[in-house]
Amino acid sequence: MFAETAEAQVLVPFAGPGAGTAPLTWGQLAIMQDMRETGWTHNVSGAHPVPAGVTVAQLAAQLGDLMSRYPALRMRLGTDDRGEPCQVVSADGEIALDVLDVPDDADPADVAKFAYELGHARLLTHYDLYRDWSVRMAVVRHRGVPVHRVLTLDHLVVDGTATALLMADLGLVDLAARRTPDPRTVDLLDLGRRERTPPLRRVSDRAVRHWETHLRAIPPSTFGEVTNPAGRHGRRFWHGRFSSPAAHLAVRAIARRTRTDTSRVLLAVIAVAVGRATGVSPLTAKLIVGNRFRPGFAEAIAPLSQNGVLTVDAADTTVDEVVTRARRASVAAGMYAYYDPVQLAETSARLDDERGYPARVTLRINDRRVVTRQAADDAARAGEVTPEQIRRKAVETFLVWDGTLDHLPEQAFITVEDHPDTIFLQVIFDLGCFTEAQAEALLRGVEEVAVEAAFDPTAPTRVTG
């Protein structure tokens, strides 16, 4: 954006405890599998304003302190005795803080855009974790003053919760409900070793048996075969954004009435919207589970999220009943979402042989709200929503298609983003399997279903079995 941008580096030393070598964790293996299947980096990256008066030296000190305190951030990949990837945590080292100077006459709005674009570019840049550190930080300086910081983290060492914990340490987010530090908190090396012990092998065995009950009789894919290979404008895989403040209020109203949380209500609403738009019900889907409820996991800097699996029937019933079913199904999915991905892959291959055809669950749902989820749940408990409030917000709904991808292993991937006061969905669809009208009906159906059921406990799903 700025042809005259100057770039320098500040080398930041660090040293800390927890060095050693261990097998990769189940969470790391799951992320590596996703990387192979999608070709995506799965990085976490974003730009953040720097408070007035903060210097480059202070930002460098923060980076060094972060690296020193968290062994996970000093993790790189190595190779074990069998030639397999393993994790290696260093005791000390040096990391570069990039400093980018933009022209003095640049407009501040353009500088902010530059920082955002740098964060996006780093989101898409592959790490070589055999060589690189898992953290990258850059400072954008304007007229000699730091104005934006770009933080990028590799998904092999963090998930959404771990990212929020690190950002809270840097003062970038406020985690008011953060727990008191837990002395049982595990680190990556210890977790990699534990997952090879008999007690956790039994945990994996139970989880894989749960998956088997859902996978045994599924069709080849959730939404059927490719029927429209031309997709949209000649491309099959599209990503877009859907935002509905009205759905946010309606989901809060349903959560208050049904005495559950907004995640489970939203899961039920999505299941009904899918049934209306596609006729698929019961719906079997993968649900990304944080696994943070397990002892020692709440504060861990580690990729602990894995796919759970659930089935929700939305046919010939009420939305409230689907909320009840979704609550039960998501509890079970959460209980059995911690497992060895290699073991699950072996079981899936055996089931393919037994049923006589390969089959996959090709809808994935990820509620990755951290900050706003608790706020939405608290608001649902604290006060009632009125029909007039929902009507006023209905005009703010939007759906846009942002662009295309080369490949998607799922037919649909729905992510609930951490945006306040709205249901904000990042979505990817294979429009070779959906029509554009179906995809739009599914997304707009999330709002329609929620609003219809907001004040009516008998609201029907209007999905036929």
pLDDT digits (tens, 9 = 90+) for 364-384: 999 988 778 888 888 888 878
The closest alpha carbon to 249, from 367, 386, 369, 381, belongs to: 386
Q: List Cβ neighbours of 75 (8 Å cut-off, separation of 6 or more).
A: 87, 88, 89, 129, 134, 156, 157, 188
Q: In sequence order, what DSSP letters do the residues of 80-131 get, joined into one string?
A: -TTS-EEEEE-SEEEEEEEEEEEPTTS-HHHHHHHHHHHHHHHHTSPP-TTT
Q: How much is the average pLDDT of 67-82?
A: 96
Examine the pLDDT at 34 and tell me if it is beyond 80. yes
Least confident piece of the model among 2-6, 278-282, 333-337: 2-6
Question: pLDDT-based confidence at 186, cuts 50/70/90?
Answer: very high
Kindly list the strands in the beta sheet with 6-15, ordered across the sheet, starting from the edge strand earlier in the chain: 6-15, 92-102, 135-142, 145-153, 44-49
Q: What is the pLDDT of residue 371?
A: 77
Token duo for residue 165: 């914990």
- What is the DSSP track for 290-323? --TTSTTTTT--S---EEEEEEE--TTSBHHHHH
What average pLDDT does this structure show over 159-164?
A: 91
The predicted pLDDT at position 175 comes to: 65
What's the rounded mean pLDDT across residues 315-324? 98
Mean of all residue pLDDT scores within the chain: 94
Please state the three-class secondary structure of 417-455 as a single string: CCCCCCEEEEEEEECCCCCHHHHHHHHHHHHHHHHHHCC
pLDDT of residue 176: 56
C-alpha to C-alpha distance for 333 and 323, rounded to whole angstroms: 15
Q: How far apart (Å, rounded) are the C-alpha atoms in residues 83 and 409?
A: 28
Residues 286-307, mean pLDDT to the nearest whole number = 95
pLDDT digits over 187-210, tens only?
Answer: 999 999 999 999 999 999 999 999
- What's the pLDDT tens digit per position in 213-232? 999 999 999 999 999 999 99
pLDDT for residue 372 = 85
Q: What is the mean pLDDT of the segment spanning 10-28?
A: 97
pLDDT band for 249, please (50, 70, 90 cuts): very high
| Per-residue pLDDT, 178 | 54
pTM of the model: 0.92
pLDDT in tens, 421-452: 999 999 999 999 999 999 999 999 999 999 99
Give the mean model confidence (pLDDT) for residues 10-14.
97
Query: To the nearest whole percent, how much of the chain has pLDDT over 70?
Result: 99
pLDDT of the residue at 177? 54
pLDDT value at position 373?
85
Domains of the chain: 6-185 (3.30.559.10), 197-453 (3.30.559.30)
pLDDT in tens, 80-130: 999 999 999 999 999 999 999 999 999 999 999 999 999 999 998 988 999
